[in-house]
Amino acid sequence: MNLPAYIGIRFSVSQKDSAFLSFITRVSMIGLTLGVVALIVVVSVMNGFDSQLKYRILGAVPHMVVHGELPTTPINGVRASAPFLKRDGMLVQSNKNRLVAVYGIDPGKEKEMSVVPSHMVEGRLEDLVPGSYKIAIGKPLGLQLGLWTGDNITLLIPEPSPQGSMVVPKIARVELASTFALQSELDYALVLINLEDLKQIVGVVQHDTRLTLDNIFQVGGVRKLLETEVNVTDWSREYGDFFETVRMEKLMMFILLTLIVMIAAFNTVSGLSMMVKEKQAEIAVLRTMGLSRGRVMQVFIIQGSFIGLVGTVAGVILGVPLAYNVTEVVGFFEDVFGGRMLAGTYFDRVPSDVRLFDIIVIILVSFLISILATLYPAYRAAKVDPANALGAE
């Protein structure tokens, strides 16, 4: 074994140190372990919320809308297309009203276009046949308006006049045929109606085309291909800022929780500095036996790195299973103490999404901080003068 590595590991596991030094070493390992556990669990939970929001929101809204004729040539990255029309409107029921987005869809193609058909609560989208003027809304919106399937409600859509000088309200009496529950804000703001019925209500003949992409985050590349021929809009214009905010929150949580690892690193600095002071005689003997200053530094770098390695590995061993089972763990404590952590939100449980890349980044960051924490004590050890140290003994 490399001599500095051998000595550094012996110093780390030695039982002859003072009780206080051993305590500092244990505190450093435990602090690093807890920091790694917190990072893994919190980042995985943030990933879970991010994934669920993307599924519930971006899975229901159009990935891209083409205004005009869709090019006949195949478009790379586009999985499916369907006729589509969108208008902003208002549902009015007695003295209650709600602003909504009205999607005119082809019910037969909606399974290819969104996740709404797999989240139906009452009825089916196939009930939205042309000429029936039936709609589907979120179950929570129906409860707010006091509606049940079969009830009638007024749909009001502001539409510009042909001259464009004024806005003319288009009013239709529609029937609630089915409800869905996406567990997102769309449950309160989305109305689905047959495309032909919406065209009749607003008095238009043409419609747009909705595209569903293989990878929703490749929307920029597809937009560049289409913008030379037609006018297009995509989800990023309406929801891009929202998901950028979620990404920034995840980054800030990662930075804040990294401070826990840095606090543990300060304990490592303190412990190694005290060990350098205590082992000056041993360092002096090693120097007189021919160990260079650089190799003395390696001894204490390896010792601190060993502490960091043990703490990081322990954190991963504890953190990964906890992150995978955080839903059950939170549910257990909710049952024990009562109440619900996510009461009043769209979520009924804490989601988790453990990603290998994030785990690797956490391991590398934690271990790098541990190594950096050893540099100053190792430098102090290399500066020990053998004559003075042995003379003091």
**Annotated domain spans of the chain:** 3-54+243-392, 64-234
Identify which of 340, 106, 347 has the alpha carbon closest to the alpha carbon of residue 209: 106
Which pLDDT tens digit goes with each residue over 34-76? 889 989 998 999 888 888 888 888 888 888 888 877 777 777 8
Q: Is the dihedral of CA 103, 107, 114, 209 positive or negative?
A: negative
Torsion over CA: 68, 72, 78, 80 (sign)? positive
Which residues of the chain have a pLDDT value below 70?
Answer: 1, 3-22, 163-165, 343-346, 384-393
Distance CA 337, CA 25 (A): 35
359, 51 contact by CB (below 8 A): no
- Quote the pLDDT of residue 129: 92
Identity of the residue numbered 383: K
> Locate tokens 């208008």: which residue?
87
Q: What is the pTM assigned to this prediction?
A: 0.75
Question: Which of helix, strand or coil describes residue 146?
Answer: coil
Question: Please, are residues 65 and 86 in contact by the beta-carbon 8 Å criterion?
Answer: yes
Block residue for tokens 């449980």: 349
Q: Could you give the residue ranges of the DSSP H alpha helices within the chain?
A: 3-13, 19-53, 110-113, 139-145, 195-202, 219-227, 236-278, 280-288, 293-324, 326-337, 356-382, 386-392
For residue 114 the two structure tokens come to 């969104």
Token digits for 381? Answer: 């050890």
SS3 of residue 375 by DSSP = helix
Distance CA 33, CA 43 (A): 15
Max intra-chain CA distance, the chain: 102
The string of pLDDT tens digits covering residues 144-203 is 998 999 999 999 999 887 766 678 888 999 999 999 998 888 999 999 999 999 999 998
The amino acid present at 297, given as its one-letter code, is M
**Whole-number pLDDT of residue 196:** 93
HSE, side-chain direction, 13 A CA sphere, residue 358:
23
Which H or E element spans position 7? Answer: helix 3-13
Asked if 147 and 312 count as a contact pair (C-beta separation under 8 A), the reply is no
